[in-house]
Amino acid sequence: MDPVIQQLVQEELQRQRHGIELIASENFTSQEVLNALGSCLTNKYAEGYPGKRYYGGCEVVDKIEQLAIDRLCQLFGAEYANVQPHAGAQANAAVFLGVLQPGDPILGFDLSHGGHLSHGSSVNFSGKVYQANFYGVEEESGTINMDKVRSKAKEVKPKLIICGASAYSRDWDYARFRQIADEVGALLLADIAHPAGLIAAKLLNDPMPYCHIVTSTADKRLRGRRGGIIMMGKDFANPWGKTNKKGEPIMMSAILNSAVFPGMQGGPLEHAIAAKAIAFGEASQESFVQYGRQVIANAGAMARAFTDRGYQIISGGTDNHLMLIDLRAKSSEITGRDAENALVAADITINKNMVPFDGRSAFYTSGIRVGTAAITTRGLKEHHCEQIIDWMDDAITNRNNPAIIQEIKTKVNKFMMDFPLYP
């Protein structure tokens, strides 16, 4: 009925099939997730929560949303979950709305060191409404120095400390963050949008016992639909002494639920929630643990291959699915933007990224970020990763030679035919 959009969707499918997808935040969902997203559930309005809706006819979507909540709690060993946030940034916004007052100090990981926009960046509402402060990595080691996090926290007395990042390849010491939070009287939020699937598979440290609140996306490592989630390992009474009409303390679960709706959003997207429920079910299978192991093995193989070819990995390696590569070690001439352009022309999709203490702007950058979640879903193994790094090194080195880039692209497209995506 709409040949223009139909044609463009086909073009995008071909792009996804033929290219090597290394953007660390991307992944490929299952056909079942796609089907749920295209289902009649999109027609239903359901403001409120299961059993407490402001619209009639919610019997079926109540069951779907409850199943999504139950599966998510089971997957992470959480006592509370909210599956309504439309995306990861909205999940964080709801937490901020629930636990902070405008002007309150917060402490997050510096965006230019690998943090996320929604943790207090000056261009995001979180940096405009709250008083944002940051910790970062050490220039020498590329890792977070917890003693410095502690002294920063003692200095700025944040109401909320945020751990989690978009471009940090090392695991997090949630227990130490909690000690610091307790010492300064802050709540602790972990945003695990990137490593969530690896945490669910128990391949990385678990934030649930230490962080008051945990947010994530359902897409990245959880391989579900684009969307946000909020969890708590244990529900607890609000620390501000707020009581309900009966004089009982209000629980954080109630505060977070009302921060999402009606605080931040209108009706939930029930087709998206069904897709999340499917993804949480998939992520609880044994095969998902195997997938997580392969994601980490592939990232390790890539980091070694980059290092062998003269590139520098920030922090010297990776514990998870991603790495940040400082191109300056290879040559001071190469910008992240030039590398991105050459690689994308060869159908190897990555993003330019600032590296800590970058002398270039966010528009040019001195680094690139790569991740292995999407190619591992396609079935690629360690030895394939080495081949990919050969092509990447070739493309970056010959970034001003369109004929060589074209040759690499032809090889990439032929190579990816062996890894089918969707029937």
Ligand X SMILES: *Cc1c(COP(=O)(O)O)cnc(C)c1O
Catalytically annotated residues: 45, 47, 191, 217, 220, 226
Q: Kindly report the CA angle at 289 between 283 and 290, in degrees rounded to 5? A: 125
- Buried b / exposed e along 406-417 (16+ C-beta atoms within 10 A): ebbbeebbebbe
Measured from the CB atom, the residue of 125 and 236 that comes closer to ligand X is 125
Measured from the CB atom, the residue of 118 and 257 that comes closer to ligand X is 118
Q: Does 166 bind ligand X (CB under 6 A)?
A: yes
Q: Does 164 bind ligand X (CB under 6 A)?
A: yes
Question: Which CA distances in Å does 112 have to 122, 137, 142, 253, 311?
Answer: 12, 10, 12, 33, 20
Residue 213 phi/psi, 5-degree rounding, is -140, 145
Q: Give me the least distance between CB of 274 and ligand X, in Å please.
A: 18
Both ends of the chain: CA-CA distance in Å? 22
Measured from the CB atom, the residue of 191 and 206 that comes closer to ligand X is 191
Q: Does 29 bind ligand X (CB under 6 A)?
A: no
Position among 87, 146, 250, 344 found at the interface with ligand X (CB under 6 A): 87
Q: Give me the least distance between CB of 174 and ligand X, in Å please.
A: 15
- Buried b / exposed e along 307-342 (16+ C-beta atoms within 10 A): beeebbbbbebbbbbbbbbbbbebeeebbbbbbbeb
Q: Does 113 bind ligand X (CB under 6 A)?
A: no
Position among 29, 84, 118, 318 found at the interface with ligand X (CB under 6 A): 118
Measured from the CB atom, the residue of 105 and 115 that comes closer to ligand X is 115
What number of chain residues touch ligand X (CB under 6 A)?
Answer: 15
Q: In the complex, which residue's CB is closest to ligand X?
A: 88
Measured from the CB atom, the residue of 162 and 339 that comes closer to ligand X is 162
Q: Does 194 bind ligand X (CB under 6 A)?
A: yes
Among the candidate windows 44-52, 87-95, 277-285, 338-346, which touches ligand X by CB under 6 A?
87-95
Q: Does 191 bind ligand X (CB under 6 A)?
A: yes
Q: Give me the least distance between CB of 138 and ligand X, in Å please.
A: 20
Measured from the CB atom, the residue of 24 and 181 that comes closer to ligand X is 24
Measured from the CB atom, the residue of 87 and 345 that comes closer to ligand X is 87
Residue 177 phi/psi, 5-degree rounding, is -60, -40
Residue 186: count of CB within 10 angstroms of its CB: 24
Q: Does 25 bind ligand X (CB under 6 A)?
A: yes
**What is the Cα–Cα distance from 382 to 302, expressed in whole angstroms?**
8
Per-residue contact track with ligand X, 215 to 244, x per CB under 6 A?
A: --x--------x-x----------------
Alpha-carbon radius of gyration of the chain: 22
- 174-184 helix and 146-156 helix, angle to the nearest 10 degrees: 20
Among the candidate windows 84-92, 206-214, 371-379, 402-410, which touches ligand X by CB under 6 A?
84-92
Q: Does 116 bind ligand X (CB under 6 A)?
A: yes
**What is the Cα–Cα distance from 190 to 225, expressed in whole angstroms?**
21
Q: Does 23 bind ligand X (CB under 6 A)?
A: no
**What is the Cα–Cα distance from 198 to 299, expressed in whole angstroms?**
13
Which of 342, 329, 310, 325 has the alpha carbon at shortest distance from 114? 325
Ramachandran region, residue 223 (left: φ > 0; alpha: ψ -120 to 50; beta: rest): left
> Using CB under 6 A, which residues numbered 319 to 348 contact ligand X?
none
Residue 382: count of CB within 10 angstroms of its CB: 16
Among the candidate windows 59-67, 186-194, 204-212, 379-387, which touches ligand X by CB under 6 A?
186-194
Q: Does 372 bind ligand X (CB under 6 A)?
A: no
Q: Kindly report the CA angle at 308 between 307 and 311, in degrees rounded to 5? A: 40
Which of 108, 99, 173 has the alpha carbon at shortest distance from 143? 173
Q: Does 88 bind ligand X (CB under 6 A)?
A: yes
Which positions lie near ligand X, rule CB under 6 A? 25, 87-89, 116, 118, 164-166, 191, 193-194, 217, 226, 228
